């Protein structure tokens, strides 16, 4: 089982972000959140975790005492074994040596939201963080010797040149991060600076194509459309979820998948605290399978008969081969690489994944 905890608090709201989170929260809200989480964790039998992911929001907005309470709750209720991947998202301006030490005693993977190493481009994004805080956070993470860690970057920021983004990639790689996530700027509906932050799609595609070459000197490999890692440093939580693994989400807006149904908790702290029931995403089983099939085609390794057989309720491999061949006919044969033992997308297929997904769904 893969567990996701959504910590729905942020210091302020970044200009491009429409994820559910409460900016500038009152610490009383933290306690209400943790009390409710404790009740939820008490309420159900929970199978042992393969992965645990603490995301948000900004989990590191919690002070050390509340972070420790969160970690103790998870330890007590889920009893993760030594090999369990435990990830936490962090923002540079909310960590210090004490918090990083505490996090390291609990988690073996940390993901740092850098977005850009340029103060100017972070300002464009409406992202509140100083250069000093950013570099200090990286030093702290390096000193703590996390076996797995990630830097998040955003590209196609208006006003940023190609060289600026390539410098960001090189800076992240030189910092020693064995995993780098690169997201094209996609301001979501409802984001504070949505109108101002419209990326140039052609430029974004050109940058995406160039990323593997820029990261080649450090031996990174693209293992998913937006994710690059040194061998053995892929995020196991995400890999499991992309492959249709079971997911149990806690906290407002957290999604779950029980093998048949997907559901999402209310995207409102108040409603979640009041016990609002989760919203069910009721789609027929065949459509669910196609959705899982499409999602994992975003990865470089795609599907093999063995991986597909592990998807809950999976149909036969022959049916998947037929579907992939028919999608290739409808889009472009160049988008797919289909053999009896594996179905993947080519580099151009990954670039047009949205079009392929529409056909598959």
Q: Which residues bind ligand SF4 (CB under 6 A)?
A: 10, 13-14, 17, 19, 21, 56-58, 91, 113
Measured from the CB of residue 94, what is the shortest distance to ligand SF4 in angstroms?
9
List C-alpha distances in Å: 360 to 153, 291, 294, 320, 357. 29, 8, 7, 10, 5
- Helix-strand-coil split of the chain, %, nearest 5: 45, 20, 35
User: What is the number of H-type helices and E-type strands within the chain?
Assistant: 14, 16
11 or 243, CB closer to ligand SF4?
11
197 or 350, CB closer to ligand SF4?
197
Which residue's entry shows tokens 């997911």? 247
Say if strands 279-281 and 262-264 run parallel, antiparallel, or are unpaired.
Answer: antiparallel
Measured from the CB of residue 154, what is the shortest distance to ligand SF4 in angstroms?
9
Measured from the CB of residue 10, what is the shortest distance to ligand SF4 in angstroms?
3
Q: Are 251 and 33 in contact (CB under 8 A)?
A: yes
7 or 247, CB closer to ligand SF4?
7
Query: Within 13 A of 57's CA, how many CA atoms are on the CB side?
Result: 29
Residue 360, classified by CB atoms within 10 Å of its CB into exposed (0-12), middle (13-18) or buried (19+), is buried
- Provide DSSP, 69-136: HHHHHHHHHH---TT-EEEEEE-GGG--HHHHHHHHHH-SEEEEEEE-S-HHHHHHHT----HHHHHH
7 or 294, CB closer to ligand SF4?
7
91 or 227, CB closer to ligand SF4?
91
Which residue's entry shows tokens 């490999």? 221
128 or 337, CB closer to ligand SF4?
128
113 or 249, CB closer to ligand SF4?
113
| Distance from C-alpha of 263 to C-alpha of 284, rounded to nearest angstrom | 14
Measured from the CB of residue 250, what is the shortest distance to ligand SF4 in angstroms?
17
List C-alpha distances in Å: 16 to 100, 125, 147, 164. 27, 6, 30, 19
Q: C-alpha 114: how far from its chain's center?
A: 14
166 or 183, CB closer to ligand SF4?
183
Of 38, 37, 30, nearest in space to 61 by CA: 30
The phi, psi pair for 150, rounded to 5°, reads -135, 150
User: Sign of the C-alpha dihedral, residues 117, 122, 124, 125?
Assistant: positive
Measured from the CB of residue 300, what is the shortest distance to ligand SF4 in angstroms?
26
19 or 218, CB closer to ligand SF4?
19
């Amino acid at each position: 089982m893969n567990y996701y905890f959504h910590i729905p608090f942020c210091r302020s709201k970044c200009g491009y972000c429409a994820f559910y989170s409460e900016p500038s929260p009152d610490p009383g809200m933290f306690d209400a959140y943790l009390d409710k989480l404790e009740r939820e964790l008490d309420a159900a039998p929970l199978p042992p975790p393969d992965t645990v992911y603490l995301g948000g929001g900004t989990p590191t907005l919690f002070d050390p005492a509340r972070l420790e309470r969160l970690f103790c709750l998870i330890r007590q209720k889920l009893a993760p074994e030594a090999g369990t991947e435990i990830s936490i998202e962090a923002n540079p301006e909310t960590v210090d040596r004490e918090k990083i030490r505490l996090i390291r005693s609990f988690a073996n993977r940390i993901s740092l939201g850098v977005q850009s190493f340029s103060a100017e481009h972070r300002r464009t994004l409406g992202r509140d963080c100083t250069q000093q805080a950013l570099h200090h956070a990286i030093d702290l993470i390096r000193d703590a010797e996390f076996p797995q860690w990630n830097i998040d970057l955003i590209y196609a920021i208006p006003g940023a040149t190609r060289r600026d983004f390539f410098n960001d990639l090189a800076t992240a790689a030189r910092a020693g991060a064995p995993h780098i996530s690169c997201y094209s700027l996609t301001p979501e509906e409802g984001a504070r600076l949505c109108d101002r932050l419209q990326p140039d799609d052609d430029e974004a595609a050109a940058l995406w194509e160039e990323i593997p070459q820029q990261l080649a000197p450090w031996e990174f490999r693209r293992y998913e459309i937006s994710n690059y890692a040194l061998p053995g440093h892929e995020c196991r939580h995400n890999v499991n979820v992309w492959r249709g693994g079971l997911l149990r989400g806690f906290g407002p807006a957290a999604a779950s998948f029980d093998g048949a149904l997907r559901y999402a908790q209310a995207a409102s702290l108040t409603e979640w605290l009041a016990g609002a029931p989760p919203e069910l995403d009721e789609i027929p089983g065949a459509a669910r399978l196609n959705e899982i099939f499409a999602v994992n085609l975003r990865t470089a390794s795609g599907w093999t008969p063995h991986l597909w057989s592990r998807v809950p309720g999976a149909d036969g491999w022959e049916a998947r081969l037929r579907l992939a061949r028919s999608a290739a006919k409808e889009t472009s044969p160049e988008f797919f690489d289909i053999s009896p033992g594996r179905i993947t997308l080519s580099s151009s297929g990954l670039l047009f994944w949205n079009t392929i997904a529409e056909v598959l769904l």
